[in-house]
Structure 1
Amino acid sequence: MLIEIRPALDPELAALITAQQRESAESGVPAGQRMFQPDEDVAYLVGVVNGRAVACAAWQAVGPAAAELRRIYVRPAFRGRGLARQMIVAIEEEALAAGRPLLRLELEAGMSAAIALYQSSGYRQATSAAPDRVRFEKRLPALVQ
């Protein structure tokens, strides 16, 4: 898979986010948590397989040395191939290169597959403000130059 940085208004990114929102709505995720507002302060990545955009993810700087992982999405026909894990690694590399060695994310407590993915990727559960949410953190090793 080729992973590319894309602008917030990229049409292929928009199609992936629309698919993600549709899938979230079908699974009962509240509308307020599905909303997508393009944001220039967010770095968007798109995973491309055979010329087709099939995955997306994003990260945003939060605090002096931290970044937040945003929704990672892989089209259903491409799941089970390790693409989400590749997107996580790409985000970690981008955030670390930008001087953000601490990564955070928060998701619905019922998202068992996503929870397992983050745990197996080295993310540790942290205290969450909401009972129906799960928060994770991962500290990345510093770059050696």
Structure 2
Amino acid sequence: MLIEIRPSLDPELAALITAQQRELADSGVLAGGRTFEPGDDVSYLVGAVNGRAVACGAWQALGPGAAELRRMYVRPAFRGRGLARQMIVAIEEEALAAGRSLLRLELAAGLSAAIALYQSSGYRQITPSAPGRVWFEKRLPALVQ
């Protein structure tokens, strides 16, 4: 998979996030009909297989030294190939290069496959923010200069 940084208004990125939002809404995880609102304060990555955008993810700066991992999605036909794990590693590398060694993420408690993915990628669960939601974090090793 080729992973590259894309601008927030990239049409392939928008299609991936729209598919993610639709899938979450259809499963009952996402309520309220939220839509994708691109932000310039978010760094987006898109993964392509044979020239087709099939995965995305992003990170957004929180406080000093911290970032939130967001917008992780892999098209269903491409799941089970390790693409999400590749995307997580790429996001971690980008955030770390920007001086963000602590990554956090929030997701619905019912997303068992996503929870297993993050736990197996070294993220540990921290105090939940709201009922039905779980927070994870991972401290990344410092870059050797």
TM-score by length of 1: 0.97
Q: Deviation string for 1:31-74 (max 9, x for gaps)?
A: 34743210000000000000000000010000001000002000
Aligned to 1:129: 129
Query: Is the partner of 1:31 in helix, strand or coil?
Result: coil
Aligned length: 145
In 2, Cα distance between equivalents of 1:103 and 1:33: 27
In 2, Cα distance between equivalents of 1:34 and 1:54: 21
| Residue pair 2:3, 2:90 contacting (<8 A) in 1 also | yes
- Deviation at residue 10 of structure 1 after TM alignment: 0.2
- Deviation at residue 22 of structure 1 after TM alignment: 1.2
TM alignment of 1:1-145, pairs within 5 A? 1-32=1-32, 34-145=34-145
Give RMSD over aligned pairs: 1.1
Structure 1 unmatched runs, 5+: none
Structure 2 letter corresponding to 1:109 = A
In 1, Cα distance between equivalents of 2:14 and 2:50: 19
Q: Which stretch shows the higher mean deviation, 29-38 or 3-12?
A: 29-38
- State percent identity of aligned pairs: 84
Structure 2 unmatched runs, 5+: none
TM-score by length of 2: 0.97
